[in-house]
Amino acid sequence: MSEEPTTPGPQPEPIRFFGTTWVTHDGGYGARRAAVAAGSLLAAAAGCFVLRFAYEGLAIADVGTFVNLLVVVMFAICSALAFRRTWEGFSKRHDPASQASMRGLLTIGFVGVLLAHFFRSLTEAPGEQLHREEYERAREQYAKRATRRTGNPSRKKRKA
Protein backbone atom coordinates (compact mmCIF):
# COMPACT_ATOMS: atom_id res chain seq x y z
CA MET A 1 0.00 0.00 0.00
CA SER A 2 1.62 3.26 -1.11
CA GLU A 3 1.28 6.44 0.89
CA GLU A 4 0.09 9.50 -0.99
CA PRO A 5 1.95 12.72 -0.25
CA THR A 6 -0.03 15.05 1.99
CA THR A 7 1.08 18.20 0.21
CA PRO A 8 1.41 18.81 -3.51
CA GLY A 9 4.83 19.45 -4.93
CA PRO A 10 8.25 17.98 -4.29
CA GLN A 11 8.68 15.57 -1.41
CA PRO A 12 11.80 15.40 0.81
CA GLU A 13 14.31 12.67 0.06
CA PRO A 14 14.71 10.26 2.99
CA ILE A 15 18.09 9.94 4.71
CA ARG A 16 19.29 6.56 5.95
CA PHE A 17 18.31 5.98 9.61
CA PHE A 18 16.30 9.25 9.62
CA GLY A 19 13.71 8.90 6.89
CA THR A 20 12.15 12.32 6.44
CA THR A 21 12.30 13.31 10.12
CA TRP A 22 15.14 15.67 9.22
CA VAL A 23 12.68 18.12 7.64
CA THR A 24 10.94 19.16 10.87
CA HIS A 25 13.18 17.36 13.41
CA ASP A 26 10.30 15.28 14.72
CA GLY A 27 9.70 11.56 15.17
CA GLY A 28 12.66 10.89 17.44
CA TYR A 29 15.14 12.90 15.38
CA GLY A 30 17.35 13.72 18.39
CA ALA A 31 17.41 10.11 19.58
CA ARG A 32 18.27 8.93 16.07
CA ARG A 33 21.13 11.40 15.84
CA ALA A 34 22.46 10.20 19.20
CA ALA A 35 22.14 6.58 18.08
CA VAL A 36 23.95 7.26 14.78
CA ALA A 37 26.73 9.09 16.64
CA ALA A 38 27.14 6.31 19.19
CA GLY A 39 26.86 3.57 16.58
CA SER A 40 29.41 5.09 14.22
CA LEU A 41 31.87 5.74 17.05
CA LEU A 42 31.42 2.20 18.34
CA ALA A 43 31.87 0.77 14.85
CA ALA A 44 35.02 2.87 14.35
CA ALA A 45 36.43 1.61 17.65
CA ALA A 46 35.61 -1.98 16.69
CA GLY A 47 37.28 -1.42 13.31
CA CYS A 48 40.42 -0.11 15.01
CA PHE A 49 40.39 -3.17 17.28
CA VAL A 50 40.25 -5.47 14.24
CA LEU A 51 43.04 -3.51 12.55
CA ARG A 52 45.12 -3.97 15.70
CA PHE A 53 44.70 -7.73 15.41
CA ALA A 54 45.79 -7.55 11.77
CA TYR A 55 48.86 -5.55 12.76
CA GLU A 56 49.70 -8.06 15.49
CA GLY A 57 49.33 -10.83 12.91
CA LEU A 58 51.92 -9.09 10.77
CA ALA A 59 54.19 -8.73 13.79
CA ILE A 60 53.84 -12.44 14.59
CA ALA A 61 54.58 -13.31 10.95
CA ASP A 62 57.74 -11.21 11.28
CA VAL A 63 57.30 -9.60 7.86
CA GLY A 64 59.64 -6.77 8.72
CA THR A 65 59.53 -3.16 9.77
CA PHE A 66 59.02 -1.85 6.23
CA VAL A 67 55.84 -3.85 5.64
CA ASN A 68 54.49 -2.98 9.10
CA LEU A 69 55.13 0.71 8.45
CA LEU A 70 53.65 0.45 4.96
CA VAL A 71 50.41 -1.07 6.29
CA VAL A 72 50.04 1.55 9.02
CA VAL A 73 50.71 4.42 6.61
CA MET A 74 48.31 2.94 4.03
CA PHE A 75 45.44 2.71 6.51
CA ALA A 76 46.18 6.18 7.89
CA ILE A 77 46.23 7.81 4.45
CA CYS A 78 43.17 5.92 3.21
CA SER A 79 41.27 6.80 6.38
CA ALA A 80 42.17 10.48 6.05
CA LEU A 81 41.15 10.56 2.38
CA ALA A 82 37.93 8.67 3.12
CA PHE A 83 37.12 11.07 5.96
CA ARG A 84 37.60 14.09 3.69
CA ARG A 85 35.64 12.57 0.81
CA THR A 86 32.76 11.59 3.10
CA TRP A 87 32.75 14.99 4.83
CA GLU A 88 32.58 16.75 1.45
CA GLY A 89 29.77 14.41 0.41
CA PHE A 90 27.60 15.82 3.19
CA SER A 91 27.49 19.22 1.48
CA LYS A 92 27.72 18.40 -2.25
CA ARG A 93 26.93 15.43 -4.44
CA HIS A 94 29.87 13.63 -5.97
CA ASP A 95 29.95 12.44 -9.55
CA PRO A 96 28.76 8.78 -9.57
CA ALA A 97 31.69 7.75 -11.79
CA SER A 98 34.29 9.25 -9.45
CA GLN A 99 32.45 7.83 -6.45
CA ALA A 100 32.61 4.35 -7.98
CA SER A 101 36.35 4.72 -8.61
CA MET A 102 36.86 5.72 -4.96
CA ARG A 103 34.97 2.73 -3.58
CA GLY A 104 38.13 0.73 -2.83
CA LEU A 105 39.79 3.62 -1.03
CA LEU A 106 36.62 4.23 1.00
CA THR A 107 36.53 0.56 1.93
CA ILE A 108 40.13 0.53 3.12
CA GLY A 109 39.60 3.82 4.95
CA PHE A 110 36.36 2.72 6.60
CA VAL A 111 37.47 4.16 9.94
CA GLY A 112 37.59 7.63 8.37
CA VAL A 113 34.10 7.19 6.92
CA LEU A 114 32.73 6.15 10.31
CA LEU A 115 34.43 9.04 12.08
CA ALA A 116 33.03 11.50 9.52
CA HIS A 117 29.53 10.18 10.24
CA PHE A 118 30.17 10.48 13.99
CA PHE A 119 31.33 14.10 13.84
CA ARG A 120 28.58 15.17 11.43
CA SER A 121 25.87 13.53 13.52
CA LEU A 122 26.91 15.70 16.47
CA THR A 123 25.49 18.74 14.65
CA GLU A 124 22.94 17.34 12.18
CA ALA A 125 21.85 14.19 10.40
CA PRO A 126 24.65 13.20 7.99
CA GLY A 127 23.67 14.71 4.65
CA GLU A 128 20.90 16.89 6.08
CA GLN A 129 22.41 20.15 4.81
CA LEU A 130 22.62 18.87 1.23
CA HIS A 131 19.13 17.37 1.30
CA ARG A 132 17.66 20.52 2.85
CA GLU A 133 19.23 22.77 0.18
CA GLU A 134 17.97 20.53 -2.63
CA TYR A 135 14.50 20.28 -1.07
CA GLU A 136 14.20 24.04 -0.56
CA ARG A 137 15.37 24.68 -4.14
CA ALA A 138 12.83 22.18 -5.48
CA ARG A 139 10.06 23.80 -3.42
CA GLU A 140 10.97 27.26 -4.71
CA GLN A 141 10.96 26.03 -8.30
CA TYR A 142 7.61 24.33 -7.75
CA ALA A 143 6.17 27.50 -6.23
CA LYS A 144 7.31 29.52 -9.26
CA ARG A 145 5.73 27.02 -11.65
CA ALA A 146 2.53 26.74 -9.63
CA THR A 147 1.76 30.46 -9.37
CA ARG A 148 -0.98 31.51 -11.71
CA ARG A 149 -1.20 34.69 -13.74
CA THR A 150 -4.05 36.97 -12.96
CA GLY A 151 -6.21 38.27 -15.76
CA ASN A 152 -6.11 37.85 -19.49
CA PRO A 153 -2.79 39.02 -20.99
CA SER A 154 -4.51 40.08 -24.25
CA ARG A 155 -6.60 42.65 -22.35
CA LYS A 156 -3.53 44.20 -20.77
CA LYS A 157 -3.27 47.93 -21.41
CA ARG A 158 -0.21 48.90 -23.30
CA LYS A 159 1.73 52.02 -22.52
CA ALA A 160 2.09 54.36 -25.43
- Is 1 or 43 the better-scoring residue by pLDDT? 43
The pLDDT score that the predictor gives to residue 2 is: 46
Q: Taking 80 as the threshold, does the pLDDT of residue 39 lie above it?
A: yes
Percent of the chain with pLDDT over 90: 73
Long-range contacts of 121-127 (CB under 8 A, 24+ apart): 121/33, 121/36, 121/37, 121/40, 122/33, 122/37, 124/22, 124/33, 125/15, 125/17, 125/18, 125/22, 125/29, 125/32, 125/33, 125/36, 126/15, 126/36, 126/90, 127/15, 127/89, 127/90
Q: How does pLDDT run across 64-105, given as a tens digit for each residue? A: 899 999 999 999 999 999 999 999 999 999 899 988 999 999
pLDDT for the residue 7: 73
